[in-house]
Amino acid sequence: MERFTDEYGHKYCFNMVTHYGGKVVVHCPKCSKNAYISIESNEYVLRCGACYYTETQMEAYKYSARGVCQHCERYFNLEVKDEKQMTQKQLNIACPHCQTTNQVPMHRVADYRWRYQDIRDGRDPIFHLELYYLDYFRGKPVWAVNREHLSYLISYTSATLREKPANGPMRTASHSLPVYIKEAKNRDAIVKILKKLQKKFED
């Protein structure tokens, strides 16, 4: 009997991997070899070591001007979409309640609709490239974001006894796995696919 103790959290989701300094492996859009997505200086960066192709994508932010009106003393919070205004620390803006012009600070926060996107149909959510470690089981995707994730999946699917870690009801890394990967009847086929992916060479 192979025993496996699961890991806590969403360790292998796209955003957790990239925001904690890891890399997601995808097919380069130019040469089809393996390329890596990471975060550098608040930008998503795609780099291919084979053909040296590079692409960047800025993280998305929301900008707002908010404060208490000096005239009517009511609070307001207005989204700012003018790119020229986004660079300013202070903004003169009309109160939406009484139209009095106020000088208020500009605020920038991460757009969580962007940040919490994840892998869909075997493609990353930023550059929409196919993952390097991707295959199919009866038409359904089986994938890993990198070799560490691949090793985890092999250990998880190979185990005949899967246990949650002690101390707490937190979600585990396997929580988001589709049922067809978890089912015992598919174990041998899924493990075979994952081990085939493990043999793929990274440049």
Question: Which residue pairs from 35-44 have beta carbons closer than 8 angstroms and sit at least 24 positions apart in sequence?
Answer: 35/129, 35/132, 37/124, 37/126, 37/127, 37/129, 44/18, 44/126, 44/127
Among 50, 82, 109, give the residue marking a domain's end: 109
* pLDDT at position 112 over 90: no
- Summarize pLDDT for 139-198 with one digit per residue, the tens: 999 999 999 999 999 999 999 888 888 776 678 889 889 999 999 999 999 999 999 999
* pLDDT at position 115 over 60: no
Cα–chain-centroid distance for residue 190?
24
Is there a single domain that holds both residue 91 and residue 136? no
Instruction: Give percent above pLDDT 90 in the chain.
Output: 68
What is the tally of structural domains in the chain? 2
Q: H or E segment at 68?
A: strand 61-68
Mean pLDDT of the chain, nearest integer = 91
* pLDDT at position 113 over 70: no
Is there a single domain that holds both residue 54 and residue 102? no
Distance between CA atoms of residues 38 and 83, nearest Å: 26
Is there a single domain that holds both residue 10 and residue 52? yes
Which residue, 114, 69, 113, 111, is CA-closest to 86?
A: 111
Of residues 109 and 122, the one with the higher pLDDT is: 122
Is there a single domain that holds both residue 54 and residue 72? no
Is there a single domain that holds both residue 65 and residue 141? no
CA Rg, the chain, in Å?
23
Does a structural domain hold residue 192? yes
pLDDT given for residue 196 in this prediction: 96
Does a structural domain hold residue 203? no
> Does the reported pTM lie above 0.75?
no
Among 90, 109, 128, give the residue marking a domain's end: 109
